[in-house]
Amino acid sequence: MLQRWFGNRASQSLGITLVLLAVIAAVSFLTTRWQLADARRVEHTYDVREMLTAMLTDLVDAESGGRGFLLTGHAAYLKPYEDARKALSAHLADLRRLTRDNPRQQRRLDTLEPVARAKVAFMERLVAVRGANGEAAARALANGKLTDDACLLLVRRNGGPAENGILVNDKGETKQ
């Protein structure tokens, strides 16, 4: 009888231990999945911010090159301008792709993209006028500061360099 009682007790202990191990394994598995999902969301946020910074850099490079050409008339200043103009379209397309899961960011991009394109169109006009009509005519057009400020504000609202510590989940909700 004593042997039977110890046998049942050992079986019960083994059963309880196995159930506890299974629960611990399941909790560990779920926790790891949640951590990986969070890491992917953080990486995605950094990708969007990096692309916004690249787009803003494109605008600054385009303006710097265009204004360099405007002031000097040297074609060497047109290379950074041309490179930035080409890169801007690619960066805007990448931003569209990266934010397609977030309607709020897509709406902001709908506002930002025309402003950025208007800035590039303005610089194109300056370069064309400088090339055709000289420095004085181009200087008369050089009043793009408001467009610059609008681009910078929209980039910051869309999660650019000035918006720190905010993560956006798949539902468009933000968390600090």
The 10s digit of each residue's pLDDT in 81-94 is 899 989 999 999 99
The residue with greater pLDDT, 152 or 111, is 111
Mean pLDDT of 111-118: 88
Q: What is the C-alpha R_g of the chain?
A: 29
111: in domain: yes
- CATH of residue 96's domain is 1.20.120
81: in domain: yes
Q: How many domains does the chain divide into?
A: 1
Residues 16-54 pLDDT 10s: 999 999 999 999 999 999 999 988 889 988 998 999 999
* Three-state SS at 175: strand
71: in domain: yes
pLDDT at res. 50: 92
Q: Which residues contact 173 (CB under 8 A, 6 or more apart)?
A: none
11: in domain: no
Q: Which residues contact 47 (CB under 8 A, 6 or more apart)?
A: 98
Q: How far is CA 105 from the centre of its chain?
A: 10
| Contact by Cβ (8 Å): 147, 155 | no
150: in domain: yes
0.75 surpassed by pTM: no
161: in domain: yes
18: in domain: no
Can you give the residue range of the structural domain that contains 63? 43-175
Question: Across all residues in the chain, what is the average pLDDT?
Answer: 78
107: in domain: yes
